[in-house]
């Protein structure tokens, strides 16, 4: 293969042949007439294949330095007397992209093109010829001519789609491009007048930016090119075409035509002065943010893709204006984001033509064809800049570059625009995964293959870009390989994939653990051993469980990478991988669609804050090491706060917690413990990293940590209060997680030795008891088919092992001696008293007493009281659910009896950062400055008391009479239904009256209000796209005038 290519590169085919061959074949096809459809279609494919080969050959040659860039002078004259073309590396890349989509696009549109005869095929070929010319040409007027030829060709192809919609869209398109062409022409003729040349290089040399008149003509040219790129809001004409044209044509417009026009803009930016570059970036940003805002309410798939296209191209325009083109990373950033858009948009438009679903809600038919669903989701994630796609690297590097320039406002604007895009694209993804699936039309191979190739291309280019980005070669792809393997073997039965996943998780742990410091070791155990334990229940599930294991391993792999990360890029990569995986896990629950979306939105928002913070960390520093967190040069307090809030979206702190109850409560039974006991700790891990880097005891962020302490305390209160009013067992546990994570945040924010011991103890405890509780309750919910506790009751006799597990779980949670929760409490009081945070401490203490209420409710309503009629035949949970619970119980017992095994090394590990007032150990006895605690003795004493009392109780009740369920003679009542004998519904009604206002959904209302505001703003602005082609023309002209006026006032 390489030999063939190198032979080819010896004899480079001149790029002018692209034009010559295309023209020749086009004329010949015209001569063939409409009868020889098949012949002319073969000729078309041959011509497009030829173009592709020529451009790829140049790409190969130039990229490997086998040949030099070639200038071609037509007719043998030098400019300005002739037109010249340039084939350099840039041109080769762009032309290759264009020609590939041309070739595949012609295959995709094969049946339409054949049906419409050679005429349409000629037009198709001419379109691609003109795109090649505008990329290669260095002559202004030549570019104008072929831009026009391209526009006419597009307008011709639009009517391939039948119906008045396409015709009117095409006419609007012609109106707009006609005006744009006129403006362009005026600019060209005046630039010729002022510089005496039409050759770009000569014009740039003569530096028109310094001449007043020439400046205005370069303004006209630039604005015309920008208008070709459909800037918001002067782009109604383009949206109509995206929506109404044949999807194959929309794909070409978005990827090929968009790419070519962007390259034209790139060529022209050379002649714009700095002041114009400024405007270009502004126009780009406004387009990116505006178009994505308007996309939010769009329900029609292709129009939505149109909005997204406009937005993505806006971002690329912005990048063009923001970064100096000499910047060493400019091309990488641009290429990364461009290729993601290119592959994903073409792929999505093509899919839209395959499934023929106009409304985004109908896209659930994709589930009938898992490969197509996988590609669809890949394309969506690529557009949103998730790893491992090229845009992830592009966006990362872009943020780093802009941070280095101190352009934080621009970064924020770009992140806001991206966030809007996440809203509508992820909602769409959710629909495709969850909604009722209709029937999938028959898929032609010719339409299927291009989509698959573009999906593969996306991954390949993503890898390529990652290897070129700074520090990109430090990324560990092992977890993604595991995910890929699981995707390939997704057809196997669940137990096989479950075993594979457990093996892989164990393997990650085996690779990670050696040489790990204590804190990372603890999190490795939580993430990966926890992973294995929560995967075990999966053995109970019959069938294939499609898509579960790739998602789970994406999450666990991301968590493993998080621990391994030694630089900011690795950390962010891991963070995003974990987020995607957990999203796909959470959305699997029956009613999880809206909750998964809200989880995603909070996660992405948090991730963007982290990214912004990382940008500030990298600015003014060299390298990307995580150690830089301790030497932030730019706005350190702000950077720290941004990152902290980012991590707190994952720990669900107050204000950012509203996604959690739904996401954890509605998830599948074995997913809830994964996301609750394990995933939440990722946020804790991030916070720990930050706080350690902040300098420990001697940090300069005491104000920030003081606030975090309060947030933690209030989160504990609100979370626990929320829990007591739940009737849904899993939601009760979910609210309880919010509360527990509040304790953890509070404890770490104390920033003392004792505080951190408390925090880590709580972290370990919460991992163990929440996994037990969610496994037990989740298993029960799955068995009984209801979440409502008042529909349960009396299960203690049916499920004694689950009862014991839950009992131990809630004893640990409540901090009752002798179990490890008590140790946490003891440490907590020490820490609070030593720090002097009495008010906050009181709030947390109060929250702790509330915890008793919901724990009582949980165990009472579910296990005690009266068995319900329909549960008479319920059996104990399966071994696969019980096994991990009992392994964790052993863990709790060990931690309770011998806490020094874990707390001593933790104390040593944090002593560096927190040297004062350490906990000292005498054997199993822990000594603080305030007192002592001997866990082993407590265990022995209380254990002894328990055994004695239990024995006494059994002895005393040996003669007790066993009665049937309804044998309640004492009350003179005759209960006939279990419900009448068991107060379990709304048992805390009184508390609700007293404290209910504290859990009134104020925060939920706030987020709802914000969402509505954004949506209605978008909806309101969207009305400017009235559908009237003439209005669009007026928008266009007004846009020019307004930008011109702003421009004039500035120079």
Token digits of residue 410: 């621009």
920: β partners? 927
Nearer to other proteins, 151 or 984 (CB): 151
Nearer to other proteins, 182 or 695 (CB): 182
Query: What's the CA gap between 59 and 88, in Å, rounded?
Result: 8
Token digits of residue 105: 């696009």
Is 178 near other proteins (CB under 8 A)?
Answer: yes
Exactly one of 97, 174, 318, 380 binds other proteins (CB under 8 A); that residue is 174
Exactly one of 218, 243, 329, 524 binds other proteins (CB under 8 A); that residue is 243
Is 159 near other proteins (CB under 8 A)?
Answer: yes
Is 1023 near other proteins (CB under 8 A)?
Answer: yes
CB of 167 to other proteins, least distance (A): 5
CB of 242 to other proteins, least distance (A): 10
Is 769 near other proteins (CB under 8 A)?
Answer: no
Query: What's the CA gap between 942 and 935, in Å, rounded?
Result: 10
Element at 202 (helix H, strand E): helix 200-205
Is 164 near other proteins (CB under 8 A)?
Answer: yes
Q: What angle do CA 783, 786, 788 make, to 5 degrees?
A: 130
Exactly one of 28, 171, 886, 1007 binds other proteins (CB under 8 A); that residue is 171
Which residues touch 143 (CB under 8 Å, ≥6 apart)? 133, 134, 137, 264, 267
Token digits of residue 446: 């010719």
- Report which of 105, 107, 159 is spatially closest to residue 131, judged by C-alpha positions: 105
H helix runs in 619-701, sequence order: 636-651, 660-666, 671-673, 680-693
Subset of 265-294 contacting other proteins (CB under 8 A): none
**What would the x/- binding string for other proteins be over residues 45 to 84, using CB under 8 A?**
-----------------------------------x----
Whole-number Cα distances in Å, 937 to 148, 596, 920: 88, 46, 17
Exactly one of 36, 66, 167, 525 binds other proteins (CB under 8 A); that residue is 167
CB of 32 to other proteins, least distance (A): 22
What 993-998 contacts at long range (C-beta under 8 Å, 24+ apart), as own/partner pairs, is 995/721, 996/725, 998/717, 998/718, 998/721
* Residue pair 753/918 in contact by the 8 Å Cβ criterion: yes
Nearer to other proteins, 162 or 958 (CB): 162
CB of 144 to other proteins, least distance (A): 8
Query: What's the CA gap between 312 and 310, in Å, rounded?
Result: 6
Exactly one of 239, 691, 776, 987 binds other proteins (CB under 8 A); that residue is 239
Largest CA distance in the chain: 116
Stretch of residues binding other proteins (CB under 8 A), selected from 192-200, 341-349, 810-818, 972-980: 192-200
Query: What's the CA gap between 144 and 134, in Å, rounded?
Result: 8
SS3 content of the chain, % helix, strand, coil (to 5): 75, 0, 20
Nearer to other proteins, 236 or 739 (CB): 236
User: What DSSP character marks residue 588?
Assistant: T
CB of 160 to other proteins, least distance (A): 12
Beta strands 920-922 and 925-927: pairing type?
antiparallel
Nearer to other proteins, 681 or 1022 (CB): 1022
Exactly one of 15, 102, 117, 156 binds other proteins (CB under 8 A); that residue is 156
Exactly one of 19, 43, 54, 169 binds other proteins (CB under 8 A); that residue is 169
Is 155 near other proteins (CB under 8 A)?
Answer: yes
Exactly one of 244, 600, 616, 704 binds other proteins (CB under 8 A); that residue is 244
Query: What's the CA gap between 374 and 490, in Å, rounded?
Result: 12
**What would the x/- binding string for other proteins be over residues 383 to 422, using CB under 8 A?**
----------------------------------------
* Residue pair 263/292 in contact by the 8 Å Cβ criterion: no
Nearer to other proteins, 130 or 255 (CB): 130
Query: What's the CA gap between 272 and 605, in Å, rounded?
Result: 36
Stretch of residues binding other proteins (CB under 8 A), selected from 185-193, 282-290, 747-755, 838-846: 185-193
Query: What's the CA gap between 332 and 316, in Å, rounded?
Result: 12
Is 182 near other proteins (CB under 8 A)?
Answer: yes
**What would the x/- binding string for other proteins be over residues 295 to 314, using CB under 8 A?**
---x----x-----------
Count the site residues for other proteins by CB under 8 A: 47
Element at 84 (helix H, strand E): strand 84-87
Is 168 near other proteins (CB under 8 A)?
Answer: yes
Is 180 near other proteins (CB under 8 A)?
Answer: no
Is 23 near other proteins (CB under 8 A)?
Answer: no
* Residue pair 296/1015 in contact by the 8 Å Cβ criterion: yes
Is 202 near other proteins (CB under 8 A)?
Answer: no
Is 141 near other proteins (CB under 8 A)?
Answer: yes
* Residue pair 892/902 in contact by the 8 Å Cβ criterion: no
Is 198 near other proteins (CB under 8 A)?
Answer: yes
H helix runs in 270-369, sequence order: 274-295, 301-322, 330-355
Is 1014 near other proteins (CB under 8 A)?
Answer: no
Is 437 near other proteins (CB under 8 A)?
Answer: no
Tell me the three state secondary structure of residue 70.
Answer: strand
Nearer to other proteins, 22 or 866 (CB): 22
Nearer to other proteins, 301 or 607 (CB): 301
CB of 92 to other proteins, least distance (A): 28
Is 227 near other proteins (CB under 8 A)?
Answer: no
CB of 1023 to other proteins, least distance (A): 7
CB of 183 to other proteins, least distance (A): 10
Nearer to other proteins, 159 or 888 (CB): 159
Stretch of residues binding other proteins (CB under 8 A), selected from 93-101, 113-121, 932-940, 1033-1041: 1033-1041
84: β partners? 73
Token digits of residue 21: 């061959």
Is 187 near other proteins (CB under 8 A)?
Answer: no
Is 864 near other proteins (CB under 8 A)?
Answer: no
Nearer to other proteins, 196 or 931 (CB): 196
Which residues touch 345 (CB under 8 Å, ≥6 apart)? 251, 254, 255, 258, 305, 308, 309, 312, 379, 383
3-class SS string, 907-955: HHHHHCCCCCCCCEEECCEEECCCCEEEHHHHHHHHHHHHHHHHHHHHH
For the sheet with 925-927, list strands across it. 920-922, 925-927, 932-934
Chain residues that interact with other proteins, rule: CB under 8 A:
80, 141, 145, 148-149, 152, 155-156, 159, 164-165, 167-171, 174-175, 178-179, 181-182, 185-186, 189-190, 192-193, 198, 236, 239-240, 243-244, 298, 303, 1022-1023, 1025-1030, 1033-1034, 1037
């Amino acid at each position: 293969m390489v030999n063939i290519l190198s032979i080819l590169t010896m004899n480079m085919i001149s790029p002018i042949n692209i034009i010559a061959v295309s023209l020749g074949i086009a004329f010949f096809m015209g001569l063939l007439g409409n009868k020889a459809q098949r012949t002319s279609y073969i000729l078309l494919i041959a011509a497009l294949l030829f173009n592709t080969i020529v451009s790829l050959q140049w790409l190969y040659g130039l990229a490997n330095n086998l040949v030099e860039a070639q200038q071609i002078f037509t007719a043998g004259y030098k400019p300005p007397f002739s037109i010249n073309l340039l084939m350099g590396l840039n041109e080769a890349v762009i032309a290759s992209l264009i020609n590939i989509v041309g070739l595949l696009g012609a295959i995709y549109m094969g049946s339409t093109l054949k049906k419409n005869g050679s005429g349409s095929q000629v037009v198709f070929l001419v379109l691609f010829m003109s795109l090649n010319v505008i990329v290669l040409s260095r002559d202004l007027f030549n570019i104008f001519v072929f831009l026009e030829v391209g526009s006419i060709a597009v307008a011709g192809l639009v009517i391939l789609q039948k119906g008045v919609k396409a015709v009117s869209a095409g006419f609007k398109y012609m109106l707009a491009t006609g005006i744009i062409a006129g403006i362009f022409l005026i600019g060209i003729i005046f630039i010729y007048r002022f510089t005496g040349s039409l050759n770009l290089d000569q014009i740039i040399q003569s530096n028109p930016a310094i001449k007043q008149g020439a400046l205005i003509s370069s303004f006209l040219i630039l604005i015309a090119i920008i208008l070709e790129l459909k800037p918001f809001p002067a782009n109604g004409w383009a949206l109509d075409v995206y929506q109404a044209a044949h999807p194959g044509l929309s794909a070409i417009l978005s990827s090929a035509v968009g790419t070519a026009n962007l390259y034209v803009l790139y060529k022209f930016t050379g002649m714009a002065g700095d002041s114009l570059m400024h405007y270009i970036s502004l126009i780009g940003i406004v387009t990116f943010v505006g178009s994505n805002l308007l996309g939010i309410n769009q329900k029609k798939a292709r129009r939505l893709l149109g909005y997204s296209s406009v937005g993505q191209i806006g971002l690329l325009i912005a990048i063009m204006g923001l970064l100096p083109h000499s910047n060493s990373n400019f091309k990488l950033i641009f290429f990364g984001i461009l290729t993601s858009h290119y592959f994903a948009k073409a792929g999505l438009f093509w899919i839209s033509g395959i499934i023929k679903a106009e409304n985004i809600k109908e896209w659930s038919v994709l589930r009938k064809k898992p490969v197509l669903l996988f590609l669809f989701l890949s394309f969506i994630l690529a557009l949103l800049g998730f790893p491992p796609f090229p845009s992830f690297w592009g966006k990362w590097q872009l943020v780093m570059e802009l941070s280095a320039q101190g352009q934080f406002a621009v970064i924020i604007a770009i992140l806001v625009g991206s966030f809007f895009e996440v809203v509508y694209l992820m909602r769409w993804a959710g629909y495709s995964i969850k909604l009722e699936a209709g029937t999938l039309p028959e898929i032609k191979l010719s339409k299927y293959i291009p989509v698959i190739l573009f999906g593969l291309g996306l991954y390949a280019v993503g890898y390529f870009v990652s290897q070129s980005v700074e520090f990109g070669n430090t990324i560990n792809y092992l977890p993604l390989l595991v995910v890929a393997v699981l995707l390939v073997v997704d057809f196997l039965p669940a137990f096989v994939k479950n075993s594979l996943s457990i093996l892989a998780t164990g393997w990650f742990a085996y690779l990670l653990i050696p040489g790990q410091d204590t804190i990372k070791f603890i999190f490795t155990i939580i993430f990966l051993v926890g992973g294995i334990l929560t995967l075990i229940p999966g053995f109970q599930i019959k069938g294939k469980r499609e898509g579960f294991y790739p998602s789970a391993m994406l999450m666990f792999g991301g968590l493993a990478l998080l621990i391994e990360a030694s630089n900011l890029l690795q950390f962010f990569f891991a963070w995003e991988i974990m987020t995607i995986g957990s999203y796909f896990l959470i959305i699997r629950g029956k009613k999880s669609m809206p909750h998964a979306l809200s989880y995603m939105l909070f996660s992405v928002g948090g991730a963007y804050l982290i990214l912004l913070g990382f940008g500030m960390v990298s600015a003014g520093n060299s390298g990307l090491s995580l150690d830089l967190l301790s030497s932030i040069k730019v706005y350190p307090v702000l950077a720290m706060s941004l990152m902290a809030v980012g991590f707190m979206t994952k720990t669900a702190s107050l204000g950012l917690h509203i996604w959690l109850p739904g996401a954890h409560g509605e998830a599948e039974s074995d997913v809830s413990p994964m996301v609750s006991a394990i995933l939440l700790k990722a946020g804790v891990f991030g916070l720990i990293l930050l706080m350690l880097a902040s300098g420990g005891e001697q940090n300069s962020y005491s104000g920030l940590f003081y606030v975090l302490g309060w947030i933690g305390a209030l989160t504990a209160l609100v979370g626990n209060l929320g829990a007591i009013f739940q009737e849904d067992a899993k939601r009760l546990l979910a609210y309880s997680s919010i509360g527990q994570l509040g304790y953890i945040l509070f404890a770490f924010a104390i920033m003392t030795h004792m505080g951190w011991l408390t925090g880590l103890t709580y972290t370990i405890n919460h991992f163990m008891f929440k996994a037990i509780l969610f496994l037990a309750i989740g298993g029960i919910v799955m068995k009984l088919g209801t979440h409502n506790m008042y529909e349960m009751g009396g299960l203690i006799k049916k499920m004694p092992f689950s009862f014991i597990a839950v009992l131990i779980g809630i004893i640990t949670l409540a901090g009752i001696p002798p179990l490890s929760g008590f140790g946490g409490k003891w440490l907590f009081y020490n820490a609070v008293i030593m720090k002097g945070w009495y008010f906050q401490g009181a709030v947390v203490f109060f929250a702790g007493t509330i915890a008793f209420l919901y724990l009582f409710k949980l165990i009472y309503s579910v296990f005690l009281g009266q068995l319900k009629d329909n549960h008479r035949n319920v059996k104990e949970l399966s071994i696969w659910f019980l096994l991990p619970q009992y392994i964790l119980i052993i863990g709790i017992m060990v931690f309770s009896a011998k806490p020094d095994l874990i707390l001593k090394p933790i104390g040593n590990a944090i002593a560096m950062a927190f040297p004062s007032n350490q906990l000292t150990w005498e054997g199993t006895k822990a000594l603080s400055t305030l007192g002592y605690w001997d866990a082993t003795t407590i265990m022995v004493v209380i254990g002894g008391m328990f055994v004695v009392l239990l024995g006494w109780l059994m002895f005393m009740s040996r003669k007790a009479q066993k009665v049937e369920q309804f044998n309640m003679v004492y009350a003179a009542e005759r209960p006939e239904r279990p419900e009448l004998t068991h107060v379990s519904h709304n048992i805390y009604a009184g508390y609700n009256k007293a404290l209910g206002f504290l859990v009134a959904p104020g925060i939920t209302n706030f987020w709802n209000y914000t969402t509505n505001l954004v949506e209605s703003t978008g909806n309101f602005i969207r009305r400017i796209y009235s559908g009237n082609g003439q209005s669009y023309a007026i928008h266009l002209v007004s846009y020019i005038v307004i930008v011109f006026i702003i421009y004039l006032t500035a120079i």
